[in-house]
Structure 1
Amino acid sequence: MSLFWRIFLLNAIVLIGATALLLGPVTVSTPVLLTEAAILAVGLAAMLVLNALLLRIGLRPLQRLTRAMTTADLLRPGERPGVTGGREIAELISAFNAMLDRLEAERAASAANALSAQEAERARIARELHDEIGQTLTAVLLELKSVADHAPPEIREELLHVVETTRSSLDEIRRVARRLRPGVLEEFGLVAALKALTNEFATPVLSVQHRIDSDLPPLGPDVELVLYRVAQEGLTNVVRHAQAKTAHLILRRVPGGVRLRIVDDGRGIRGAAEGTGISGMRERALLVGAKLHIGPAGRCHPDSDADLELGITPGGGTEVCLTVPVRQGSH
């Protein structure tokens, strides 16, 4: 029965019942007596309450659908509303679920194309920085050193200062190029790349420690790149925003896949809005069917023994936790 006829019949039953009472034992005088007015008021209130109750029961599936519409987030795939209610409501919920499936698939495909283009552009910029600007600065550095060696003593110190500035700029360009294109990931694999990443982000005020299982399952290049980029963005956020003294990079084998955790002892998220960095991590997680959780340290996927050994305090700082499923025999 359609929604229209269900509501119509519910109201018709109530009105027919009221009419039958008026034609039967219930009579109304002219003018209306006080007792009769009270009876009519009570009857009207009862009809309204009954009608509201029946409508609330009939339209409850639409309320669940409304909540699902307002909370749907393509970057956080979640449960679908159950297909319940009458034929028309069930068809509406089914259509909404199908629309979400289609939008999530299209979002994943477009994100994959965008990230692939982004990685290609990063590789191009890294090559230009290394091959063109890097070589130019190297030539400038050699010329400056030659000039400084033959310069009079009164200007030699200034030239040596310029040499050191040029050398620092060259090192910075090489560091930026390595971040844009993780050559160590391509040449030496994920474990070596993550260890190099922790060394790169370590500073005199921030200690970055790593713990990586030695029995990781075979991971495809896409999964390795996602793990590396999420770790890179997580450590970048620690340096920029956390005001932490210690950060941990943990990559462990778990049933059905691997789990990457970036944990710090900083000031925490404190209700801050998610920026483009976190949105990028969520998009990358969707590419490999992974689940990304960001919250207080030790609460996403606590590992009590390891956390206790590493000195991770539950509830302190921030944790980025990426769980990646890995199929058996995948390469």
Structure 2
Amino acid sequence: MRLLTFPVAAALLLAGCVAFVVTAYSEYRSLGELTRQENVRADALRTQVLIGRVYNLLVDLETGQRGFLMTGDVSFLDPYEHAVRELDSRYAELKRTLAATGDAQSQAFGRLDVFIADRRVQVEQNIESRWRLGEAALSNLQGWVAGKQLMDEIRGEMERLDSLQQKRITDIERAVAQQQERTRLLAQILPLVGGVMVAAAMAALWVERQRRDVAERALRESHAQLETAVQERTRELTGALDRIQSFAAELDRSVEAERRRLAREVHDQLGQLGTAGKMLVLSLGRKMAPAKEALLDEMLTIADEVIGAARRIASSLRPPLLDDFGFAAAVQHYVQGLERQSGLVVVVDLASDERLSSEQHNQLFRLLQEAATNVLRHAQAQHLTIESRLEEGEYRLRIEDDGIGPGPVRVDASGLRNMRERAVLAGGRMDFGPAPQGGTRIDVSVPLQPGDTDDTSTGLAHAGIEKEEGWDEVSDR
């Protein structure tokens, strides 16, 4: 069972990251808490300072009046007057500071208010008595005792307030020490845990990488074996396809050779027999002249029909112009018959076919025949255009009609498949589809044989047609 997988490594890495995040958050919380504690400690220290200042002002109040009472020197009243001016404001500030910290000490300040007010009254009375009675005022021992008791009460309350602030400071310092200790422990433990988890995750990822490398090597080896098998199979299929194409081409050449032989036999045998019969009928007619025999005319008509049938059969099997003058001449002759038989208006504009091989002549002509047959059967067209041009080392033939256009191709339709196969046998390709202005367009491209390009028109084809037509006339005679 695989334990160190990528999900486990990801979980460890995530846990390590969480440990680092918790450490950072703890440090942040600790810093915030320490800042708060430090602020409280600073408030307590400020309160202690205010307590000391208020107490010092009370001491100045006491010592100023005592010095004046004992010596009668007015200069001793300076501390007293300063204390009188500052005491109220400092005392009120002390109250506000303690109230802001949440420790108003209402009872203590209630007592202090009474004590300080009474002592100030006593001090004022003592100073007034010294001004009025002089040194005789020193004999008032009861006033001295009452004043000392009040100062002791005031001193006790101030010391108690100071001790409370000191206790707050001590508690805060102890809490700060504890917080720092907790923070130190977390700062040591959590990064260590996070580091261990990250290290474990990296180890898991390394192990997983090793396993992936092994799997990738095995996959590459399997791919190489599969590629070798595919290449071998492709070579076998390519060889088989080449053999099939070679067989198809050889079969087509054999069919064409047989067509050529049959056309020759039909033309030579039936044509010669028809011509001989016609000559005999003509000779017999001359011998019987001036007598007339109706059967002789009928026999002469039959002989002409036999000669014409032989010529048509031979031409349909293998047009003589295709072997003697090439594709363009054969097309011109074929189109003439097509127009006579179907009523189509055919426009022919063919480029020079001198750089086509005999095999290409034959395949293009058979492809054209198949296309024209499809037009007659299905297109319901009125016009047919056959044109070609030499372009980029290719002979490009276009057959276009103005019929209803291509419909759904039937599964058992063999005409389109035959045309594609003939284009391939000619070494080229065929595109079939709708024409821009409606109807159907067939584009065939075959490579030209090496040689000089000749873009001349079809003058040689016309000459061939004239020669064939002349040959037919000789045969008729």
TM-score by length of 2: 0.43
Q: Do the aligned residues in 2 keep the contact of 1:145 with 1:160 (CA within 8 Å)?
A: no
Q: Do the aligned residues in 1 keep the contact of 2:394 with 2:448 (CA within 8 Å)?
A: yes
Measure the CA separation in 1 of the matches of 2:322 and 2:2. 73
Q: Do the aligned residues in 1 keep the contact of 2:375 with 2:401 (CA within 8 Å)?
A: yes
Q: Which residue of 1 is the match for residue 435 of structure 2?
A: 297
Q: Secondary structure at the match of 2:384?
A: strand
CA 1:326–1:154 in structure 2 vs 1: closer, same or farther (change >3 Å)? closer
Task: Return the letter of the residue paired with 1:291.
Answer: R
Choose the corresponding residue for 2:346, options 208, 216, 239. 208
Q: Percent identity?
A: 32
Choose the corresponding residue for 2:376, options 214, 236, 239. 239
Q: Which residue of 2 is the match for residue 90 of structure 1?
A: 227
Q: Do the aligned residues in 2 keep the contact of 1:258 with 1:326 (CA within 8 Å)?
A: yes
Q: Do the aligned residues in 1 keep the contact of 2:355 with 2:449 (CA within 8 Å)?
A: no
Task: Return the letter of the residue paired with 2:224.
Answer: R
1:146-178 alpha-carbon deviations (Å, 9 max, x no partner): 778969x9983x875665455344323212212
Q: Secondary structure at the match of 1:126?
A: helix
Question: What's the CA shift for 1:86?
Answer: 3.0
Q: Which residue of 2 is the match for residue 48 of structure 1?
A: none
Q: Do the aligned residues in 2 keep the contact of 1:219 with 1:330 (CA within 8 Å)?
A: no
Q: Secondary structure at the match of 1:295?
A: strand
- Paired residue total: 239
Q: Secondary structure at the match of 1:210?
A: strand
Q: Secondary structure at the match of 1:292?
A: strand
Choose the corresponding residue for 1:194, options 331, 340, 360. 331
Bigger helix share: 2
Q: Secondary structure at the match of 2:381?
A: coil
Choose the corresponding residue for 1:134, options 261, 268, 271. 271
Measure the CA separation in 2 of the matches of 1:163 and 1:294. 48
Measure the CA separation in 2 of the matches of 1:263 and 1:183. 26
Question: What's the CA shift for 1:209?
Answer: 1.5
Written as runs of structure 1 = structure 2, the 5 A alignment for 1:135-214 is 135-143=272-280, 156=294, 160=297, 163-164=300-301, 166-203=303-340, 205-213=343-351
Q: Which residue of 1 is the match for residue 169 of structure 2?
A: none
More deviation, 169-178/123-132 = 169-178
Measure the CA separation in 1 of the matches of 2:378 and 2:296. 37
Q: Do the aligned residues in 2 keep the contact of 1:108 with 1:283 (CA within 8 Å)?
A: no
Q: Which residue of 1 is the match for residue 451 of structure 2?
A: 329
TM-score by length of 1: 0.59
Structure with the greater alpha carbon radius of gyration: 2
CA 1:264–1:145 in structure 2 vs 1: closer, same or farther (change >3 Å)? farther
Q: Which residue of 1 is the match for residue 425 of structure 2?
A: 287
Query: Is residue 255 from structure 1 mapped to residue 377 from structure 2 by the alignment?
Result: no
Choose the corresponding residue for 2:441, options 306, 314, 319. 319
Q: Secondary structure at the match of 2:369?
A: helix
Unmatched 5+ stretches in structure 1: 1-11, 21-57, 59-84, 299-312
CA RMSD of aligned residues (A): 3.8
Q: Secondary structure at the match of 1:208?
A: strand
